[in-house]
């Protein structure tokens, strides 16, 4: 059985859970999310998967 997870939705899920648990972190989480999505868009997910 193969399970393929995309990095963008996974980051979104984690960010959403953290915002629900600690609303004061909203600005920080949004900033980190935008930076990560930007990096994924620039470099693609192939380079990030090779780091893991």
Q: What global pTM score does this model have?
A: 0.51
| Pick from 3, 13, 8, 14: nearest CA to 38 | 8
41 neighbors 8 (Cβ within 8 angstroms): no
Joined together, the tokens standing for residue 29 give 């989480």
Please tell me the distance from the alpha carbon of residue 17 to that of residue 1, in angstroms, as a whole number.
27
**Residue 27: pLDDT over 70:** yes
Token look-up 């960010």 returns 15
Joined together, the tokens standing for residue 19 give 């915002």
Mean per-residue pLDDT of the chain? 75
């Amino acid at each position: 059985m193969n399970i393929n997870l995309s990095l963008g939705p996974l980051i979104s899920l984690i960010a959403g859970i953290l915002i629900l648990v600690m609303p004061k972190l909203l600005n920080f989480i949004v900033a980190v999310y935008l930076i990560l999505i930007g990096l994924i868009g620039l470099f693609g997910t192939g380079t990030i998967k090779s780091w893991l």
